[in-house]
Structure 1
Amino acid sequence: MPFIEHLDHLVLTCVDLDATKRFYTFVMQMRLETFGEGRVAFHFGAQKINLHVRGAEVSPHAHLPAPGALDLCFIASVPLDEVITHLGHCGWPIVEGPVERNGATGKLRSIYIRDPDLNLIEISEALGAPAA
């Protein structure tokens, strides 16, 4: 039996701390948390994203921490059409979608946006049956 149960957190490296905080709290509606010696994290569900600022990464860190190198998929807690409306109110452009994709637990209806560091952010709603 595999010994990994779930993802607790991941670390994102950014260039502009304020722009990143605005995006993940206002656009993505995550909860901002500060911890340790002024570190920043964004909470959602039972997970979080810890933040490093390029050039001031906390050790240990990735071998080559780089802004814009991530491709993340989040499952929305509301219908995707509500997310699309919210993004429109925020003035945040959708790069692609809605499109159908296969996720970890089944089919998804997804849109794609970019955060301030150009990380690709997929926001999805589950469509039903597990993917084959």
Structure 2
Amino acid sequence: MASFAVKALDHVVLTCKHIPKTIDFYTTRLGMKHETFGPAGQQRHALTFGSQKINLHQFGAEFEPKAQNVQPGSGDLCFITEHPIEKVLTTWQAAGVEVRKPLISCPVSPWRRCEEHVRLKMTTQVLEGGKVVDRTGAVGKLRSVYCRDPDGNLIEYVGPRVSDPLKSPFQVFISLTVFFTESRIMSERW
């Protein structure tokens, strides 16, 4: 069977207990835009940011086709901002957003929960609630802060470390283009 590489993610779906509360949270706290689409009487809701989209389904009245085991609050989403994450944190705290701590940072893999190490009383680091923490994501080294949306989905909001600016795919393309162009010019000189 042939393998077909994925180019990008078009959308994800969040199943919500109360769509208006979800819209309010994501538009006022995360700066997303709300849009409606579909025929009259069957209008659907979505949240957009950049070229991404989150479709919203009302729990108990989901649109078909849908995931097999839909459940509000089962999501774990990570969003990227270009703003200093410390500023995001202070803004959220001033607005009354409850900032969460990741459960436990595992000494072997700080990205996953580590109940096994707790049972074995191994050295673990419990992160303080409401603090910015360092992580590594798909785009590089990040500074993260966590909260929950109205349905209980875990929301990780990340920004670049000051010393390690994030590289967009476009920046990586430009860097590679410059590298290969310079390499070609150098080889032509020799």
Query: TM-score scaled to structure 1, two decimals?
Result: 0.91
Paired residue secondary structure (1:121) = strand
Question: Is residue 2:152 matched to residue 1:118?
Answer: yes
Q: How far is 1:82 from its partner? A: 2.2
Q: Distance in 2 between matches of 1:23 and 1:72?
A: 14
Q: Distance in 2 between matches of 1:106 and 1:35?
A: 35
Question: Is residue 2:54 matched to residue 1:49?
Answer: yes
Query: 44-53 vs 91-100, which deviates more?
Result: 91-100
Query: Counterpart of 1:33?
Result: 35
Quick one: which amino acid aligns to residue 108 of structure 1? L
Q: Distance in 2 between matches of 1:89 and 1:29?
A: 16
Paired residue secondary structure (1:61) = coil
Paired residue secondary structure (1:21) = helix
Unaligned runs of 5+ in 2: 102-130, 167-190
Given candidates 93, 96, 111, the residue that maps to 1:91 is 96
Quick one: which amino acid aligns to residue 117 of structure 1? D
Question: Is residue 2:83 matched to residue 1:81?
Answer: no
Between the two structures, name the one with larger relative contact order (CA 8 Å, sep ≥ 6): 1
Q: Distance in 1 between matches of 2:53 and 2:95?
A: 22
Q: How far is 1:42 from its partner? A: 0.4
Query: Counterpart of 1:7?
Result: 9
Are the equivalent residues in 1 in contact too, given 2:84–2:160 (CA < 8 A)? Answer: no
Q: What is the count of residue pairs matched by the alignment?
A: 130
Determine what percentage of the aligned residue pairs are the same residue.
46
Paired residue secondary structure (1:64) = coil
Are the equivalent residues in 1 in contact too, given 2:19–2:58 (CA < 8 A)? Answer: yes
Query: TM-score scaled to structure 2, two decimals?
Result: 0.64
Unaligned runs of 5+ in 1: none
Runs of 4 or more, structure 1, over 4 Å off, are none
Query: 81-90 vs 59-68, which deviates more?
Result: 81-90
Larger strand fraction of residues:
1
Q: Distance in 1 between matches of 2:9 and 2:132?
A: 26
Question: Is residue 2:77 matched to residue 1:72?
Answer: yes
Higher Rg of the two aligned structures: 2
